Structure 1
Amino acid sequence: MRGYTPFINGEDLPWDGPWLDSTDPATGQAWSRVARCSAAEADQAIKSADRAFRTGPWAEAGAAARADILDRLAGALEARWEELVEPEIRDNGKRITEVRGQFAGLHSWYRHFASEARKLAPEPQANSIHGVESTGHHLPYGVVVAITPWNSPLMILAWKLAPALAAGNTVVVKPSEMASASTLEFARLAHQAGLPSGVLNVVTGLGHEAGEALVRHPLTRKVTFTGSDMGGRKVAEAAAAGVVPATLELGGKSPQVVFADADLENAVNGVLSGIFLSNGQTCVAGSRLLLQAPIAEAFTARLLERARALRLGDPMDPATQIAPLANEPHLRKVRSMIVQAKDDGAECLLDGLATANGKTGYYVGPTVFSGVTQNMQLWREEVFGPVLAIAQFDSEEEAIRLANDSNYGLAAGVWTSDTARGARAAAAIEAGTVYVNHYRSVDPSSPIGGIKLSGYGRELGPDAVKDFLQAKSIWTGTAPVPDPFPA
């Protein structure tokens, strides 16, 4: 069994404390263990990051030098990304096809933000005051705490780490205790690629122990969190105690709205990818399917035909289409929500519990319910699993009303051949991202984030680096100061 210890100040911390087992979702057996860190290790990591921010090569590096370091990291990732694939799969059970696809392009995120770092410069500010010039500057916060989830640890870390480093901050990462291995392997690789000691630190353990200690530490200057809305509330409360800004990317209950004039096969592909890729274990999962009545029967039949054919299997097998859920507690949650949906009266058209019955590991097959009403748990709460809720609508107005009847607002999909209708629906749906005749794309140039219980703040996009910077104005007199108290 592999043992993973905290990575602090450029090295693995010797460890004789308690451990947490990490279980392989495909087998249900522990394959590694990670250190269960406490406030002591959190303090050590934060202080290491603070020293690296204030003194040494990172503190002395300008934007161009930081960009060069990020480019070297990108080069190392491009050459060695395959080393990171197996640890992530063993931790969270994601299909090797998906993980390889993510990791093969992981270096591009760091290259993108290296380029963005080179663009940082003071900005002249227009003002109406005679004899004074003003200039806008942007300063890094200092120590940034990044808390990442178990579903895509290294991809989501890139969204936080790359712009934070481009801005000149140092970072302490607290990965999920369910999936820490790939983050620690990456931290070693980054250090070997030339990232100075203390710039990236990784503290493992439980959220209410190590995570809370990191967020509440007096040297923490900014927090970025991806996870559930419940976890986001706790992080926001802890950060607010120290008046520390936080970016929260939380859950979703994203609608997929399919109008009768949509390209049926294209929409079926989009709905399948939106809910069954990654087993629905993604914040933007399109978990509510709204079908216009004239096509509801035909669309559902085609969707079920495709979903029934999806193959459950070993996540390390490239032929697998549905891999296990990431961990046992999550398996219990998804199972219970499927059972509750049946008890609430939704019609189970495809039962993923039956499909996975008797299979070793944390498996749930594609699950589809119809007749889901707005008062049901399945409509209102995030499953974060391969479970789709179907409802029907008649008019465009009803579709928008149903789409917006949610406490979440992270993403949505609209499927129609009417360009004007697509634009109207996209504008009216309450979500941070709306896809029209498409679903699930992500790019460093496009912001990600939500409204309502889906969180606040944005990651990525044109202001991603500035989100990790503080604005500072410098005023310079160009004419004599007049006597404030003339005779």
Structure 2
Amino acid sequence: MKAKDDWGLEAATRGIFIGGSRILTDDSYPVIDPTTEDVVGQAPEATASQVEQAVAAAQDAQPGWAATAPAERAGILRAMGRALGARREQLAPLIAAETGCLLSAAPVIVDRAVSRFERFADLLTGLRPVEHGIEIRATPAGPSLTSGQTARRPVGVVAAIAPFNFPLIGAASKIAPAIAMGNAVVFKPAPQDPLELLAFASICEEAGVPDGVVNIVTGSGVEVGRTLVSAPGVDMVSFTGSTAAGAEIYRSGADSMRRMLLELGGKGALIVRRDADLDAAVEALGRVWTYYSGQWCAAPTRAIVHRDVHDELVDRLIRLGRSLRIGDPSDPATNLGPVISDAQRTRIEQSVAGAVADGAEEVLGLEPRGGRSRGYFVSPSLLLGCRPDMPIVQNEIFGPVLSVLTYGDDDEAVELANATRFGLTNYVFSADVPTAWELARRLRSGSVLINTATPRDDMPFGGMGMSGVGRDNGVFALESYSEAQGILVASTPAPAA
């Protein structure tokens, strides 16, 4: 295996990545820049047989990779992080072009992906290796005539599918813990922005990842993903995306009982208590508009506000919303760029129009689409007078749309927060931290953040209800990408004297 000296878009468009080699495809499809609607490049259109070839390559590579010492795996992870960090400035423009994220945020995205590889290398180094596995939790001492060991063993071949938001971070979050635990991966990026992940294949080569341990396939339709998750050689599916797609994948794995890690939709509630720091609450809620145009699953898209501070909070949100600059993500003054596609823009605009027709009040009044004739731009929305049963309150919109509901006491706030099928991430803002803790314990969500909207990567991340199955991040991810095996042996009694 040799490192590639070429890089960037040319390498990214060369072909899919299977068994350590670029494989050319007969067809390709255009990747569109959400800002300009111009073509960024052509992505390979993999066939079903090529997906099966990638799974076979992972099957061949996985036993040898699982047999490598954890310290060696950690060294490869660190090399992947170094190689990725070295390409930071070259990757940033490609990331911004195909995702529409702010150009200033693109290097930070690379840094966050790098940190994933470093973190899992560190975690791996700190755990006790056992034969063909890793001990994450020690086995307590048993009866005198038995001894035991509990270890985490690799699952096998992992089919990993990431969404269009933050594709590089999503890839690192799946690939790093999966290979740390001795698995091999077939990774499929979202069809909207796959080029940075095809470029990432060169990172794997530069870092010395053994052939077949990481494979990358792309496609514009559903065939590639469906073939991948249903392939007989796949032992686990790790999927981040919509609840509808996740439910389909969950059903598809029933016959084989393959392991599932599903991080699905969210409809985050941010409870603003009467004693909350309103500046901090507004900053957190404003991220629904400014952080990748609201295209993140943990976004606090429902503001559940105590009636005594409702008017003041809304006034501050209106001022913030009207101060936003919608435009070219390469302009440092821009803080709200486009959404990923015309279909996504249409869906968001129709959802807001439906909410207004249903009785909500849209109060920002900005020029639609920021007055831009090209690009998939959506103006931020602030919807007042929302009812809990409105579709805009119940459904994940995945855009810069914030709905406001009011409440009178803590019990009502909890009831409103829990009144959706989702349970990914909720928030509580209050000066009374002990009370906020009590509210957090009553919220049905995988994560609750108190007085902050910035999560920690060592905390478990995943959802309850229709927000998914399993947990990512830190040691929780290492457990998700492995199987627990307990071995108990009866000791032979000493012979009688």
Is 1:474 paired with 2:487? yes
User: What is residue 190 of structure 1 aligned with on the other side?
Assistant: 204
CA distance in 2, matches of 1:193, 1:59: 18
Query: How far does residue 63 in structure 1 lie from its aligned partner after superposition?
Result: 0.7
Written as runs of structure 1 = structure 2, the 5 A alignment for 1:396-475 is 396-443=410-457, 445-475=458-488
Q: Which residue of 2 aligns with 1:44?
A: 53
Instruction: Kindly report which structure 2 residues correspond to 1:200-211, keeping only aligned pairs within 5 A, or say none.
Output: 200-206=214-220, 208-211=222-225
- 1:309-348 pair list within 5 angstroms: 309-348=323-362
Q: Which runs of 5+ in 1 are unaligned?
A: 483-487
Please give the root-mean-square deviation of Cα atoms over the aligned residues, in Å. Answer: 1.9
Q: How does 1:344-363 map to 2 (within 5 A)?
A: 344-351=358-365, 354-363=368-377
Q: Residue 230 of structure 2 corresponds to which residue in structure 1? A: 216
Residue 103 (structure 2) aligned to one of 96, 104, 127: 96
| Counterpart in the other structure of 1:485 | none
Rounded Cα–Cα distance in structure 2 between residues aligned with 1:241 and 1:308: 52
Q: Percent identity?
A: 32
Task: Tell me, in whole angstroms, the C-alpha distance in 2 between the residues paired with 1:347 and 1:234.
Answer: 35
Shift of 1:133: 1.2
For 1:49 and 1:353, how far apart are their aligned partners in 2?
50
- Say whether 1:125 aligns with 2:125: no
Distance change in 2, residues 1:315/1:4 (3 Å) = farther
- 1:377-429 CA deviation, whole Å, 9 max, x = no partner? 11111110001111111111111111111111111111111122211111111
Partner Cα separation in structure 2 for residue 102 and residue 481 of structure 1: 61
> Which of 31, 43, 51 is equivalent to 2:40?
31
- The Cα of 1:236 is off from its aligned counterpart by 1.0
Structure 1 runs of 4+ aligned residues shifted over 3 Å read 1-4, 126-130
1:110 aligns to what? 117
C-alpha displacement at 1:376, in angstroms?
Answer: 1.2
Cα distance in 1, alignment partners of residues 331 and 207 from structure 2: 31
1:300 Cα shift? 0.4
Q: What displacement does 1:355 show? A: 4.8
Alpha-carbon displacement from aligned partner over 1:330-366 (angstroms, at most 9, x marks no partner)? 1111111111111111101024562524431000021
Q: Give the equivalent residue in structure 1 for 2:76.
A: 69
Alignment map for 1:76-95 (pairs within 5 Å): 76-95=83-102
Letter in structure 2 aligned against 1:9: G
How far apart, CA to CA, are the structure 2 residues paired with 1:353 and 1:152? Answer: 28
1:20 maps to which residue?
29
**CA distance, structure 1, for counterparts of residue 18 and residue 250 of structure 2:** 25
Q: C-alpha separation between the residues in 2 aligned to 1:220 and 1:400?
A: 40
Question: Any residues of structure 2 matched to 1:207-356 within 5 Å, and which?
Answer: 208-351=222-365, 354-356=368-370
Q: Which of 18, 26, 33 is the equivalent residue of 1:8?
A: 18
Going from structure 1 to structure 2, the CA distance change for 1:430 and 1:311 (only over 3 Å counts) comes to same
Query: Structure 1 CA distance, aligned partners of 2:437 and 2:31?
Result: 45
Paired residue type of 2:22: D
2:103–2:329 Cα contact (<8 Å) kept: yes
Aligned length: 478
Per-residue displacement from partner, 1:137-179 (whole Å, max 9, x unpaired)?
2211111111000011011111111111110111110111111
Unpaired stretches in structure 2, ≥5 consecutive residues: 1-8
Q: What corresponds to 2:6 in structure 1?
A: none
C-alpha distance in 2, partners of 1:295/1:463? 38
Alpha-carbon separation, structure 2, partners of 1:352 and 1:410: 30
Q: What secondary structure does 2:218 align onto?
A: coil
Please give the alpha-carbon distance, in whole angstroms, between the structure 2 residues aligned to 1:273 and 1:374. 22
